[in-house]
Amino acid sequence: MHRPLFVLAALSLVASACGDSSKQASTDSAGAAAPAQSRSSGADLTGAGATFPNPLYAKWFDTYASKTGVKINYQSIGSGGGVRQISEQTVDFGASDAPMSDGELAKTKGGPVVHIPTTVGAVTVVYNLPDVAAGLKLSGDLIAAIFQGQITKWNDARIVALNPGVKLPATDILVVHRSDGSGTTYVFTDYLANVSPAWGTKPGKGKDVQWPVGIGAKGNEGVAGQVKQTPGAIGYVELAYATQNKLTTAAVKNLDGEFVAPSIESITTAAAGAAAKLPPNSDYRVSIVNAPGRGVYPISSFTWIIAYTKQKDPAKGKKLTDFLKWAMTDGQELSAPLDYAPLPESMRRALVSKIDSIQ
């Protein structure tokens, strides 16, 4: 695919473009790629992982410290890093938008772990077309074709057919994807594998896949920054990052045939339907992409905090469980203002019991 020269020049600006918002800031801003433990001076708990919920987690940790004095150091390094660090016991908790696989669970050094869903978010399809102000309509098969490099122009007949009356430019589409192991990528590719048999075959779903086309950027912050500064670009980011960067999001066709925009209401609807079907003894490693129901945004997902069921430090274990119970109650009230959906009430009650199982 032909790439304009300005795209290459824009790459050098990503780092500076991604760090302006307090919503994106980690609770410790120094060097997000290093283990959280190495910079945890003064912290009561350390964690690392997903960028998907980081705007909410940063708010939670700040609010919780103000109320209790308990300081939590969290490094927003991506879900892959979070799984690695909790598996190696270099942090007190990990965070991931992709539940750990059975293979990953078998390799944890501290024994069994528990997955605690903390909130519900949406992976949005964002794009930069200066002359197309309103959100485009896109179906799952079209999104898959774009990210496979089969649709390369914005005025492709298949996009035009879904968007009558919209003047789409005859310019190249530049695909932007994650360069790091990412739970956001897992959710996005899980959705594409559900709606596109071709995508399910190759490249499939995962935290890190072999992208057929495009350029990579680190974190939700990096993808949002790259799309924002590159006309013609398309990418995928969590809703909070789309909102704070004022990026245009596509309305995506759901299982019931509706084109639904990402919003608190549409992801709450997806979560409520999933919660109603969870068995009492669920381990909560569930996908809610492409869920049925009217008004459902189809690229919705839980995100998880992962902790050992047997804590090696009783004092830290108590601080962690106290925080998690707060997150299930008072913390949920902070979700919607940051573009996340609170967990359904029935799930919160069940999760408090699950947290009580941590020893």
In this structure, are residues 32 and 77 in contact, taking their beta carbons and an 8 Å threshold?
yes
Q: What is the pLDDT of residue 108?
A: 94
User: What is the torsion angle, in degrees rounded to the nearest 10, for the CA atoms of residue 73, residue 78, residue 79 and residue 81?
Assistant: -70
Q: Which residues pair with 176 in a beta bridge?
A: 215
The domain that holds 114 is classified in CATH as 3.40.190.10
Asked whether the predicted pLDDT for residue 25 surpasses 90, the reply is no
End residue of a domain, out of 267, 293, 322: 267
Asked whether residue 11 falls in the same domain as residue 63, the answer is: no
Asked whether residue 67 falls in the same domain as residue 174, the answer is: no
Q: Is residue 257 a part of any domain in this protein?
A: yes
Asked whether residue 135 falls in the same domain as residue 251, the answer is: yes
Q: Is residue 258 a part of any domain in this protein?
A: yes
End residue of a domain, out of 221, 250, 267: 267
Asked whether the predicted pLDDT for residue 29 surpasses 70, the reply is no
Q: Which residues contact 130 (CB under 8 A, 6 or more apart)?
A: 231
Parent domain of 91 = 36-119+302-356
Q: Is residue 41 a part of any domain in this protein?
A: yes
Asked whether residue 256 falls in the same domain as residue 145, the answer is: yes
Q: What is the pLDDT of residue 41?
A: 53
In this structure, are residues 93 and 47 in contact, taking their beta carbons and an 8 Å threshold?
yes
DSSP string, 132-170: --SPPEE-HHHHHHHHTTS--BTT-HHHHHHSTT----S
| Burial of residue 157 (number of CB atoms within 10 Å: 0-12, 13-18, 19+) | exposed
Helices 140-147 and 183-195 sit at what angle, rounded to 10 degrees? Answer: 120
Q: What is the pLDDT of residue 158?
A: 97
End residue of a domain, out of 267, 293, 321: 267
**For residue 345, what are its two tokens?**
């009430």
Higher pLDDT, 20 or 30: 20
Q: What is the pLDDT of residue 135?
A: 85
DSSP string, 175-244: EEEESS--HHHHHHHHHHHHH-HHHHHTT-SSSS---SS-EEESHHHHHHHHHHTSTTEEEEEEHHHHHH
Q: Kindly report, residue by residue over 169-203, the tens digit of the pLDDT.
A: 999 999 999 998 888 999 999 999 999 999 999 99
Q: Kindly report, residue by residue over 268-318, the tens digit of the pLDDT.
A: 999 888 777 887 778 888 889 999 999 999 999 999 999 999 999 999 999
Asked whether residue 129 falls in the same domain as residue 234, the answer is: yes
Q: Compute the distance between CA of residue 332 and CA of residue 323 in angstroms, rounded to an integer.
A: 12
Asked whether residue 94 falls in the same domain as residue 230, the answer is: no
Asked whether the predicted pLDDT for residue 5 surpasses 90, the reply is no
Q: What is the pLDDT of residue 277?
A: 80
Number of domains the chain contains: 2
Asked whether residue 105 falls in the same domain as residue 228, the answer is: no
Q: Is residue 313 a part of any domain in this protein?
A: yes
In this structure, are residues 293 and 273 in contact, taking their beta carbons and an 8 Å threshold?
yes
Quote the radius of gyration of the chain (alpha carbons, Å).
Answer: 20
Q: Is residue 309 a part of any domain in this protein?
A: yes
Tell me what percent of the residues of the chain surpass a pLDDT of 90.
74
Q: Is residue 281 a part of any domain in this protein?
A: no
Question: Could you give the C-alpha distances from 168 to 4, 130, 132, in angstroms and in order?
Answer: 18, 10, 7
Residue whose structure tokens are 């799984």? 83
Asked whether residue 166 falls in the same domain as residue 41, the answer is: no
Q: What is the mean pLDDT of the chain?
A: 87
Mean pLDDT for 102-117 is 93
Q: Compute the distance between CA of residue 104 and CA of residue 49 in angstroms, rounded to an integer.
A: 15
Asked whether the predicted pLDDT for residue 57 surpasses 50, the reply is yes
Q: Compute the distance between CA of residue 204 and CA of residue 217 in angstroms, rounded to an integer.
A: 20
Please, what is the Cα angle at 176 between 173 and 179, to 5 degrees?
155
Nearest C-alpha neighbor of 117 from the set 183, 190, 180, 69: 183
Q: Which residues contact 186 (CB under 8 A, 6 or more apart)?
A: 79, 97, 98, 205, 206, 207
Q: What is the pLDDT of residue 199?
A: 96
Q: What is the pLDDT of residue 338?
A: 93
Q: Which residues pair with 45 in a beta bridge?
A: 72
Q: Compute the distance between CA of residue 24 and CA of residue 28 in angstroms, rounded to an integer.
A: 11
Q: Would you place residue 3 in the very low, low, confident or very high pLDDT band (cuts 50, 70, 90)?
A: very low
